[in-house]
Amino acid sequence: MKRPLIFLAALLATACSELPKDPGGTLERVTREQRFRVGIVSSPAAADGRLHALLARVAAATGARPSIEQDAAERLLIRLGEGELDLVLGEFQRKGPWSMHVHMLPALARNSVAGRETLIAAAAPPGENGWIMLLDREARALGAQP
Amino acid sequence: MTKRVPHEIEADLAKARRLAWWTLAWMASIVLVMWLVMGASQAMKTAFIEDLLSMVPAIVLLIAMRFERKEPTRLFTFGFDRMHSLAFLVSAVALAIMGATLLFEAVHTLIKAEHVTVPPVELFGEHIWLGWLMIAALLYSVVPPFILGRMKLPVAKRLHDEVLHTDAMMQKADWMTGLAGVAGILGIGFGLWWADAVAAGIISLSILRDGITALRIAAAELADGTPRALGKAEIAPDAAALIDALEARWPGAEVRVRESGRYLLAQVRGVGGDQGVDLKALWPGDPERSWRFAELAFVPPGHDER
């Protein structure tokens, strides 16, 4: 009686250690294809070293190379919400209309432009909890604060 | 001045009052824990609101019990026994709202295909998934309602207390919702975005059914319907037996029985007053429960048209 219980507990522990997984399979795809799709918001912050350090850490953690494109924040965030991108980096307003549709990771830095707080941060597709877990860990390793 | 309640139920009334206070204390601690871990999860926010709502029956029970002990006044000459019926209606509404809210949220999530984000957090230097904390909070939220609900049911039965019974149903709804929440968060963890909503949707149907039944009974009680069995829309067996006993004692008379709070009030219509009637002797059921039969009135012939 004890052995099946121990086996079940071990199986459960192994399964749980791999949680959370992504409903859209982002992390699995990134590691399998060794490529992740990144959008960088066109602005002076695009050259910020912390954003590129984050990209390098994510690439090292997944063994994948970033495929980068630049565009306006609105267009990139819409595509992120629709699953066409895996990550968007740049400078964002603290409370933008997109905050309901994407997941903002802890900010790498905060700026104040004309009295409005902006964040140097990364955004991830909503609900991709395994992928978000990895990105969050790498951002925090660079000193990001929620 | 306070009114004496039947001595047979004094101990159970005190127990019901203690259970209500315990419920409020435990539910307050659960609400606090849920608030701390709810994050941006809509499912957890719904669970938090439900936990707040689930305190309603215990609160109205305590208020009704306080009124029940008050003597009649010039403005309330029949006393305050019926405050219990009012409290029952409020509890039934709370239970039905809880079921309906849960069902609405579940259907809304499924239709919009919302992919819930449950992010990680840093706790004591450890980077952990918030889902584990949510599951711990939900498991904590399951235990007190499960125990308290089971303790309330026999007391509610002995007191024929619909509010306490609805409170027990609310506790059942709480622990079922908590377990559904655990299944939902685990489902999200396994990448099944719909698991949370499906689990909540199934549970919500059972809660909504209990709420609607309670609403029907509460409405019947307030509309002077024949007393209903505890938690059921059918006539209470002790009320049916009382009607039979009164009809046998006064053949040809019309007998009406209604409920005021936990007490049965009977009317025998078409006969003159009968002096020296012993209500306890008329009670057809268990003598221990004869306190239920609290009032007998006669409507003389010629005044029984309505």
Q: B112-141: per-residue pLDDT in tens? A: 888 888 899 988 889 999 999 989 998 999
pTM score, two decimals?
Answer: 0.81
Q: Closest to A21 (Cβ–Cβ): which among B115, B120, B190?
A: B190
Q: What is the pLDDT of residue B40?
A: 61
Predicted confidence (pLDDT) per residue in B213-233, tens digit: 999 999 998 999 999 999 888
Q: What is the pLDDT of residue B255?
A: 95
The pLDDT of residue B306 is above 70:
no
Q: What is the pLDDT of residue B42?
A: 61
Q: Closest to A19 (Cβ–Cβ): which among B119, B122, B189?
A: B189
CA distances (Å), origin B44, targets B129, B151, B182, B249: 15, 27, 10, 58
Whole-angstrom distance, CA of residue B247 vs CA of residue B227: 17
- B124 interfacial to chain A (CB closer than 8 Å): no
Strands A65-71 and A35-41: parallel
**Terminal Cα distance for chain A, rounded:** 47
B53: Cα separation from own chain's centroid: 12
Most confident of A25-34, B169-178, B277-286: A25-34
SS3 A130: helix
B116 vs A98, which has greater pLDDT?
B116
Query: A131: distance to nearest CA of chain B, Å?
Result: 10
Q: Which residues of chain A form beta strands (DSSP E)?
A: 35-41, 65-71, 87-93, 103-104, 109-113, 116-124
**Which residues of chain B make contact with A18, given a CB cutoff of 8 A?**
none
Average pLDDT, chain A: 88
Contact yes or no for A23 and B115 at CB 8 A: yes
A141 vs A6, which has greater pLDDT?
A141
Q: Which amino acid makes up residue B106?
A: A
Predicted confidence (pLDDT) per residue in B50-95, tens digit: 888 889 999 999 999 999 889 999 999 988 988 999 999 999 999 8
The pLDDT of residue B38 is above 80:
no
Q: What average pLDDT does the segment A86-92 reach?
A: 94
The contacts of residue B97 (CB under 8 Å, 6+ apart) are B53, B211
Decide: B35 and B135 in contact? Cβ < 8 Å: no
Whole-angstrom distance, CA of residue B45 vs CA of residue B24: 19
Decide: A132 and A105 in contact? Cβ < 8 Å: yes
B105 vs A135, which has greater pLDDT?
A135
Query: A116: distance to nearest CA of chain B, Å?
Result: 23
Q: Which amino acid makes up residue A41?
A: V
Which of B181, B176, B195, B190 has the alpha carbon at shortest distance from B135? B181
Q: Closest to A20 (Cβ–Cβ): which among B114, B127, B131?
A: B131
Query: B98: distance to nearest CA of chain A, Å?
Result: 25
Q: What average pLDDT does the segment A61-70 reach?
A: 96
Q: What is the pLDDT of residue A16?
A: 63
Whole-angstrom distance, CA of residue B293 vs CA of residue B217: 19
**Which residues of chain A make contact with B45, given a CB cutoff of 8 A?**
none
Contact yes or no for A129 and B122 at CB 8 A: no
- A133 interfacial to chain B (CB closer than 8 Å): yes
Q: What average pLDDT does the segment A104-126 reach?
A: 88
The contacts of residue A95 (CB under 8 Å, 6+ apart) are none
Q: Which residues pair with A110 in a beta bridge?
A: A119
**Which residues of chain A make contact with B117, given a CB cutoff of 8 A?**
103, 126-129, 132
Query: B50: distance to nearest CA of chain A, Å?
Result: 23
Decide: A109 and A145 in contact? Cβ < 8 Å: no
Q: What is the pLDDT of residue A10?
A: 67
In this prediction, residue A8 has a pLDDT band, given cuts at 50, 70 and 90, of low
- B118 interfacial to chain A (CB closer than 8 Å): yes
| Alpha helical stretches, state H, chain B | 10-37, 42-53, 56-68, 83-112, 130-159, 162-189, 195-222, 237-249, 279-282
C-alpha angle with apex B2: B1 to B6, nearest 5 degrees? 155
Whole-angstrom distance, CA of residue B192 vs CA of residue B209: 27
Tell me, letter by letter, the H, E, C secondary structure of B162-189: HHHHHHHHHHHHHHHHHHHHHHHHHHHH
Residue of B nearest to A141 (CA): B127
DSSP run (H or E) holding B126? strand B126-129
Before A146, cis peptide (omega within 30)?
A: no
In this prediction, residue B276 has a pLDDT band, given cuts at 50, 70 and 90, of confident
**Which residues of chain B make contact with A25, given a CB cutoff of 8 A?**
191
Whole-angstrom distance, CA of residue A59 vs CA of residue B104: 42
